[in-house]
Amino acid sequence: MKSFEPTFEPRVEKADDDVNEEKYIDLDTEEDLAKYIDALNNEEDIARCIDTDRCIDQLESIENEIDRLVKVFKESPISRSWEPLPEDVLQMTMDACDRVIALDSEKKMLFDVLTSKVVHVAPNLCEVVGSGIIAAKLMAAAGALTNLANMPASEIEVLGRQKSDNISFYEGYLESTEMFQATTLCMRERARQLLAEKLKEAASVDLKRGDVSGSAGRALRDEILGTIEYEIRPPKTKFQLRRKTTGT
């Protein structure tokens, strides 16, 4: 069996020049990054430290590495053999398992820290999309909360869009929301349009700090659900309309 070694080394790249030194903070480990983000309190500081998507990139890299290791395990003869493993193969397997556990721990740490800060900066945006991570990705793709609030809804719809595997369909951040996934196929296009419109409104509310409780975002989310529920109802038949008119 061909041996393998995890190659992913999650870290924050150090600045190479004076320009980058002003924009990025020199952090050597994921723990340093998480602690620094945890000390921040507003969107401007978060953007200056990591430009928002730096932390997201770390999360995605960790997720990809975990997926790669799990795939290797599934395709390896190790998972299908009942024979005792050679000592070197066993040690390699245990090391890889430890690596997956460590990566998962780093992923959870970054996820929790980033989510808590994004909820503080954009509570209503988080309520509309239903996820702090998706809200962070939207802000990162737009460049900032200000840009997102001023962006046309049609452009918000395609943020993060890239071709999905095996099918001729392009998925963006809105397609990954729980609301979109829970919507019936015939209404998904409409759901995406409504999400883009309402999260633009939510971003505007957050930008003005008009509601820090997230209640405005919850109201916007309810509006989306109500509209979808109303539009998906089958049209009334002539008999139903006649019966309602006559009162019989």
Domain range for 165: 122-233
Long-range contacts of 219-227 (CB under 8 A, 24+ apart): 220/124, 220/127, 220/128, 221/127, 221/128, 221/130, 221/179, 223/194, 223/198, 224/128, 224/179, 224/191, 224/194, 224/195, 224/198, 225/179, 227/190, 227/194
| 44 within some domain | yes
Dihedrals φ, ψ of 157, to 5°? Answer: -60, -30
Last residue of a domain, one of 86, 121, 156: 121
Judge whether 77 lies within some domain: yes
| Residues 138 and 199 occupy one common structural domain | yes
Backbone phi, psi, residue 163, to 5°: -70, 130
Q: Are residues 165 and 207 in the same domain?
A: yes
**Domain end (from 67, 90, 121):** 121
Q: Evaluate whether residue 66 is within a structural domain.
A: yes
Let me know whether 177 and 131 are in one domain: yes
**56/75 same-domain check:** yes
- Cα 202 from Cα 129, distance rounded (Å): 10
How far apart are alpha carbons 226 and 234 in whole angstroms?
A: 15
Q: How many domains does the chain have?
A: 2
Residue whose entry in the numeric block shows the structure tokens 């030194």: 21
2-13 as b/e, with b when 16 or more CB fall inside 10 Å?
eeeebeeebebe
In a domain, 109, yes or no: yes
Tens digit of pLDDT at every position of the chain (248 positions): 344 333 333 333 333 333 333 333 444 455 555 555 555 444 444 444 444 556 666 667 777 777 776 666 665 555 555 566 677 766 777 777 777 777 777 777 777 777 788 888 899 999 999 988 888 888 888 888 899 999 999 999 988 887 555 444 567 889 889 899 888 888 899 999 999 999 999 999 999 888 888 999 999 999 999 999 888 887 766 555 555 555 55
Domain match, 18 and 82 both: yes
Residues 157 and 114 in one domain: no
Which two structure tokens, joined as six digits, stand for 247? 């009162």
Place of tokens 């397609």: 175
> Are 112 and 150 contained in the same domain?
no
Show which of 104, 121, 138 is a domain's final residue: 121
Number of other CB atoms surrounding residue 208 within 10 Å: 9
136 in the same domain as 38: no
108 and 140 share a domain? no
Is the domain of 222 the same as that of 126?
yes
Q: Is residue 2 part of a domain?
A: no
In a domain, 203, yes or no: yes
As a three-state string, the secondary structure of 104-161 is: HHHHHHHHHHHHHHHHHHCHHHHHHHCCHHHHHHHHHHHCCHHHHHHCCHHHHCCCCC
* 174, 157 Cβ separation under 8 angstroms: yes
User: 245 lies in a domain?
Assistant: no
| Domain match, 98 and 38 both | yes
Residue 242, domain member (yes or no): no
Instruction: Please check whether residues 177 and 218 belong to one and the same domain.
Output: yes
pTM strictly above 0.95? no
CATH number at residue 222: 1.10.246.90
| CA 85/CA 110 separation, integer angstroms | 35
